[in-house]
Structure 1
Amino acid sequence: MEKVATKGVAKGVDAVAEEISADVAAGRLTNGTWLKLVDLEVRYGCTRAAARRALERLAVKGVLQRIPDRGYYVAVMDERRRRELMAVRVVLETATVPGILASATKADIADLRALATRFESCIRDGDAAQKFTANRDFHVRLTQLCPNQELARLALEVRGNIPSTPVVQWWTQARIETSAREHFEMIDALEAGDGAALSRLIELHILQPEK
């Protein structure tokens, strides 16, 4: 747990829970890692009480697991649970498509192209963390175009519960290059108003490790 927060106002429970969840998803906190309150205080710049409540919240969501009298550790993602969460992602993210089509503007599409281009650049020049961040930013921007905020929130929450480091998410260089190309294909489908194509591409993109 080498990351150390800069000094400032102590973070609240929501912010700490979000950062822990992001670190789990990015693989910075790996399966089975024990989380000590004293370490979390330093890493996330929060009080011990905020860290404890964040751990409790993430345990309820299944991101962490708790053993009484021992503490919390990053939940082990077995293959069955991973496949089930991927299937849930397909249901939720394809359900956002009608709303995205109805609300997306030319400016939104331009933003998505810029984010897709940034991810494409990270493939060539970025490290693992930069690839993860650029990919996440594209998908968050796309999903948040859905006017149903609760649906978008649920879709992003489930997405955040699945480890998505480059090692897990992209098995080969060819696969990561395909992912980058699929981003642009999604944008083209959105710009054309083709909901069926966008839904199909999203499903393919989510299930790509199985292909």
Structure 2
Amino acid sequence: TVDSFIRGADAMIKGEVILPITQHLLLKKIIPLEEIEEVLSHPQALYQCRGFLKEKMPYARLKEVSSTAEAAKFVSESENNIAAIGSISLSKIYDLKIAAESIQDSENNMTRFYILSTEDEMVTGRDKTALVFSTENKPGSLFRALKIFAEKGLNLTKIESRPSRRVLGEYIFLIEVEGHRLQEPLKSALKELELSASLFKILGSFPTFELS
């Protein structure tokens, strides 16, 4: 997770893989869907199944947890009328029943996973770089940070934000940008950002996954 990287995890991102994901509704025992009081899963899994949940279980509470595995484990240990969203393999691991199959909204449901190692990947020519940073809580701080990449013609392929949990009003940004951290113009852009950021860490450079 991003928190693990920030706390000083030695791992770096060496690659990525995008896999088709099928989500199922998992219960400890089969009960009518309208009796389910709460559905647990990773935020992305809940989002992927939002149409099914809204139509079939509009009154169930949705609870975000760190992973689909954590959700399945929690359901297996509970006596309440709760459900998890996860894979068939999780139903086997935690001895859960499948109340509804393939509940994701899209048939082309895909999830991306990072490949971690002690070092990131060498230059391949189709690279991107992931990093986290934080700026001062002042007007225009984020604009000035992102402007560094724009002025060098660098394309951002992802940007996420969340509270830093260190200082009220401070946010941490996770971005991915095209290019390898050891090559220009990204190399100099990263140095410039590091000088102005209150928090800065490169998570790794890796080749872009190509869907077949």
TM range (shorter): under 0.3
Higher relative contact order (CA 8 A, sep 6+): 2
Tell me which protein shows more strand as a share of its residues: 2
TM score, norm. by length of structure 2: 0.24
Higher radius of gyration, 1 or 2? 2
TM score, norm. by length of structure 1: 0.24
